Amino acid sequence: MKSRSLSDVYAEILRRLTITVRVYDRALRITRDGWFFTGFIFAVGIAAINTGNNLLYLILAVMLGIVATSGIVSEQSVKKLHVERSLPDEIYSGKPFQIYYTLTNRWSRFSIYGMRVKEAGLKELLDIFFLQIPPSGRVVRDGSFLSERRGILKLREVRLVTKFPFGFFEKIRIIKLPEELVVFPHPAQIDEKAVSGLKAGSADISTARGDGTDLFSLRLYVDGDSLRRIHWKASARTETLVSKETQSENLPMVSVVLDTSGYIGGKDDEALEEAISEAAGFADAFISGGYMVRLATSAGEVPFGTGAPHRRRIMTHLALFNPLDQPQAIPTVRAGENKVIITLKNISKPEAA
């Protein structure tokens, strides 16, 4: 058995003794140096009481003053900061992403030093450290994070952490900033031959929406629709804003079908994630190649479409997809259409009754 030095044993004892005390939106933790300093205070205090030496009493008073000063300065530092969080538009499972934080110093005369930002519930890859925030100033820093799972990512709170001014205590201010992000599955790398080798599918384009010129259908206006898509005659007749949808141009069409039949929850999770990643990769490759793409799963489908907004709809569908919602459903496949069918590989066999 490997022997441990006395310093290692002492460090382990201090680590185990480290306790974070939380009261409402504040927390306090004694650092390793703080334990040494606290022990020294007790030693000086006991010596001063036993000897009655005025110099020891003076040293004890100075040390207690340092503790009080540390608490006041650190409290005012975290109290006088305003935090803003800026989230990315898209994030993918297993891929690092950046979140930007803006700290605003509400002190008009004093700078704030040595501030860290911690995002609760996220795996942090890059320390977010603010060396100085000038009086009435704003400083922006980015942090690198990683989410290993697709789906809904719930952010709850941001923590401001400082050891300023002496490093004996770590003051923490907990700020509630609830937000939600959709973590897209990481698109698998797809061989270009698998995409370029697929020829144009059905020539029937009357069932596909797109950016053509011929009218496809009318529907109620939704926030975000372009004003150019408003059908003014229909809107005047119904006294309600109506948007028009047009037929697509003659683009090659392909369906990406995710077949999860046979999936057993808890046993085939790895195979499921690989299949979802592959479906995301094919959808991404086809859309980038100028295809009109449809996604079909047991939970429903995303109709044919093109462009970045359509790609986001497909990625969102895959991010939230759970085959256990409809375990027996089989995605619909139209006869004669171009399609890529992704199935689960190396799945578990059902146990015999």
Q: 52-72 pLDDT, tens per residue?
A: 889 999 999 999 999 999 889
Q: Report, as an integer, the average pLDDT of 161-172.
A: 90
Confidence of residue 353 (pLDDT cuts 50, 70, 90): very low
Pairwise pLDDT comparison (20 vs 156), residue with the higher score? 156
Complete edge-to-edge strand list for the sheet that includes strand 300-305: 300-305, 292-297, 253-259, 339-343
Sign of the alpha-carbon torsion through 163, 166, 167, 169: negative
pTM of the model: 0.72
Out of 1.20.1560.10, 1.10.4080.10, 3.40.50.2300, 2.60.40.10, which CATH number does the structure's domain 18-184 have?
Answer: 2.60.40.10
Q: Is 138's pLDDT higher than 50?
A: yes
Pairwise pLDDT comparison (327 vs 46), residue with the higher score? 46
Residue that the structure tokens 């020829």 belong to: 199
Q: In 154-180, which positions are buried (b, 16+ CB within 10 angstroms) versus exposed (e)?
A: ebeebbbbbbbebebbbbbbbbeeeee
Confidence of residue 268 (pLDDT cuts 50, 70, 90): confident
Domain boundaries, the chain: 18-184, 186-208+251-348, 209-247
Confidence at residue 322, expressed as pLDDT on a 0 to 100 scale: 86
Q: At what angle do helices 307-320 and 269-288 cross, to 10 degrees?
A: 170
Q: 72-119 pLDDT, tens per residue?
A: 999 899 999 999 999 998 999 989 999 999 999 999 889 999 999 999
Which 3 state secondary structure label does DSSP give 203?
coil
Q: Is 155's pLDDT higher than 80?
A: yes
Q: Report, as an integer, the average pLDDT of 257-261.
A: 85
Q: 307-326 pLDDT, tens per residue?
A: 888 899 999 999 999 887 66
Q: Is 16's pLDDT higher than 80?
A: no
CB 333 within 8 A of CB 294: no
Question: Distance between CA atoms of 268 and 123, rounded to whole angstroms?
Answer: 25
CB 115 within 8 A of CB 160: yes
Longest Cα separation, the chain: 100
Q: 170-204 pLDDT, tens per residue?
A: 899 999 999 998 999 999 887 776 666 554 443 33
